[in-house]
């Protein structure tokens, strides 16, 4: 990908930093949220899919519970997150509904995006919400996250979400309008860099320390997020949320730093799938299913002829044609035992065979690569 057009991004993750949603005196800056919601509504209405990653729960909660964020202990911050999150998500819901848009809350922990078995669940829910034209409002599940087991900052969370849903755009809105060759707060001569093609260690070294006292992120966490997202095929943009209508401004060519990916999300994902070395089993399909796979569909139980091996949900399996030739690979949505139970089964029979509702696909089309497809854009 060599060109960037904000309007052409199909699926967009927008991350809003705490410093934007809380005033300098610690109060919830509801007007700013309303304005950003209006911008998001405009993108949604012109057909772009938007996922919101909103920080601010801890900062808003500290003000509700009268806690000093800098001196608070972990349990106090978690209590603050619990109190703040409910207010934060309610504000998003109210604000988006002003524009006729429904919102849904998703709270994630790192396992939900980093462990394969779990990421299938989170992704399934997010995709369904988008299909229903609902805007997911996402945050870290701060109330249960511990220091060892957390994203730590919402820049990284947003990048992981972008990777998970194969977004082609990630916008990090914060109190800076992009990346500079040195920290602009300490150096008035710092030069703004509009385009970064590769987040190298040298780029990272220019980032300086952490940002505001309200959130956990700084330029370094944004660059690391940009690295994750661009490696997943997602254009990443750092822009200021302090300007009037930040997303509208960005769409009109406003000042920002753009980080370009090396390929499309689909192509990069297929390369990754093709490169998984450990295959736990195989699924043999009939001629009809082979044709459906080749035309870009998911693998349904009805087309399944035989299941071999011992695998769990999320493990990689080989896909074999009717004659046993390897067609490609994919991540199984079912464990081997369950998959065996629904061989040849029509969708409406799955529940009867398994004893619970189950999922309609054995391998989702986003989770499979047919040989010859890897690298194709």
Of the candidate spans 96-104, 210-218, 302-310, 351-359, the one that interacts with ligand GLU by CB under 6 A turns out to be 210-218
Q: Shortest distance, CB of residue 92 to ligand GLU, whole angstroms?
A: 12
State the number of binding residues for ligand GLU (CB under 6 A): 14
Scanning 136-144, 240-248, 272-280, 368-376 for contacts with ligand GLU by CB under 6 A, the matching segment is 136-144
Residue 275, CB-side half-sphere exposure with 13 Å CA sphere = 8
- Check binding of 127 to ligand GLU (CB under 6 A): no
CA distance 102 to 124: 18
d(CA 114, CA 88): 26
Site for ligand GLU in 222-281 (CB under 6 A): none
Place of tokens 């909103």: 54
Q: Does 154 bind ligand GLU (CB under 6 A)?
A: yes
Helix (H, G, I), strand (E, B) or coil at 210: strand
Exactly one of 39, 112, 153, 177 binds ligand GLU (CB under 6 A); that residue is 153
Q: What's the rounded Cα separation, in Å, for the pair 199 and 181?
A: 13
Q: Which of 20, 58, 228, 299 binds ligand GLU (CB under 6 A)?
A: 58
CA-to-CA distance for 88 and 20, rounded, in angstroms?
13
Three-class DSSP category at 329: strand
Residue 98 DSSP SS3: coil
DSSP state of 344: T
How many whole angstroms from its chain centre is CA 237? 14
Distance CA 48, CA 59 (A): 30
Which of residues 21 and 293 has its CB atom nearest to ligand GLU in the complex? Answer: 21
Given candidates 37, 50, 59, 289, which one binds ligand GLU under the rule CB under 6 A?
59
Residue nearest to ligand GLU (CB): 215
Q: To the nearest whole angstrom, how small is the minimum distance from the Cβ of residue 216 to ligand GLU?
A: 4
Report the residue number, 49 or 142, with the smaller CB distance to ligand GLU. Answer: 142
C-beta separation of 216 from 179 below 8 A: no
Which of these segments, 50-58, 274-282, 283-291, 326-334, binds ligand GLU (CB under 6 A)?
Answer: 50-58
Tokens of residue 152, six digits: 């730590």
Separation CA 319–CA 277 (nearest Å)? 14
Q: Which residue has the tokens 């012109």?
A: 46
Task: Identify the DSSP state of 186.
Answer: T
Considering only 57, 166, 345, 361, the residue that binds ligand GLU (CB under 6 A) is 57
CB of 160 to ligand GLU, least distance (A): 13
Residue number, 172 or 320, with CB nearest to ligand GLU: 172
Does residue number 215 form part of the binding site for ligand GLU (CB under 6 A)? Answer: yes
Q: Kindly tell me which residue out of 6, 16, 18, 123 binds ligand GLU, with binding defined by CB under 6 A.
A: 18
Q: Which is nearer to ligand GLU, 58 or 362 (CB)?
A: 58
Applying CB under 6 A, the span of 28-36, 214-222, 244-252, 358-366 interacting with ligand GLU comes to 214-222
Quick one: CA dihedral 76, 141, 172, 199, positive or negative? positive
For 98, the token pair is 């002003």
Which residues contact ligand GLU by CB under 6 A? 18, 55-59, 139-140, 142, 153-154, 215-217
């Amino acid at each position: 990908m060599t060109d960037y057009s904000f309007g052409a991004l199909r699926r967009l993750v927008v991350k809003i930093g705490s410093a934007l949603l809380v005033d300098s005196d610690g109060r919830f800056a509801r007007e700013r949220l309303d304005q950003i919601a209006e911008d998001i509504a405009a993108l949604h209405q012109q057909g772009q899919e938007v996922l919101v990653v909103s920080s601010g729960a801890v900062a808003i909660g500290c003000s509700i519970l009268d806690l000093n964020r800098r001196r608070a202990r972990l349990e106090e911050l978690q209590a603050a997150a619990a109190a703040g999150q409910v207010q934060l998500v309610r504000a998003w819901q109210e604000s988006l509904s002003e524009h006729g848009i429904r919102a849904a809350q998703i709270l994630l922990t790192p396992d939900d995006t980093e462990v394969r078995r779990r990421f299938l669940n989170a992704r399934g829910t997010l995709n369904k919400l988008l299909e229903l034209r609902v805007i997911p409002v996402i945050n870290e599940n701060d109330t249960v996250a511990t220091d060892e087991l957390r994203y730590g900052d919402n820049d990284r969370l947003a990048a992981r979400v972008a990777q998970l849903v194969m977004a082609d755009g990630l916008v990090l809105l914060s109190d800076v309008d992009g990346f500079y060759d040195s920290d602009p707060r300490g150096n008035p001569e710092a030069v703004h860099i509009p385009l970064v093609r590769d987040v190298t260690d040298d780029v990272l070294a220019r980032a300086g320390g952490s940002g505001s006292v309200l959130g956990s992120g700084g330029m370094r966490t944004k660059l690391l997020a940009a690295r994750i997202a661009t490696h997943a095929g997602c254009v990443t943009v750092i822009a200021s949320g302090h300007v009037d209508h930040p997303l509208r401004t960005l769409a009109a060519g406003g000042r920002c730093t753009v980080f370009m990916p090396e390929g499309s999300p689909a192509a990069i994902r297929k390369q990754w799938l093709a490169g998984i070395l450990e295959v736990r089993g195989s699924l043999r399909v009939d001629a009809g299913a082979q044709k459906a796979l080749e035309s870009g569909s998911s693998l349904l139980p009805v087309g399944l002829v035989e299941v071999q091996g011992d695998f769990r949900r999320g493990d990689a399996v080989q896909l074999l044609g009717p004659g046993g030739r390897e067609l490609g690979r994919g991540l199984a949505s079912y464990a081997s035992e369950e998959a065996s139970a629904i061989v040849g089964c029509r969708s409406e029979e799955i529940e009867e065979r398994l004893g619970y509702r189950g999922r309609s696909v054995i391998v989702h089309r986003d989770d499979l690569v047919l040989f010859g497809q890897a690298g194709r854009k």
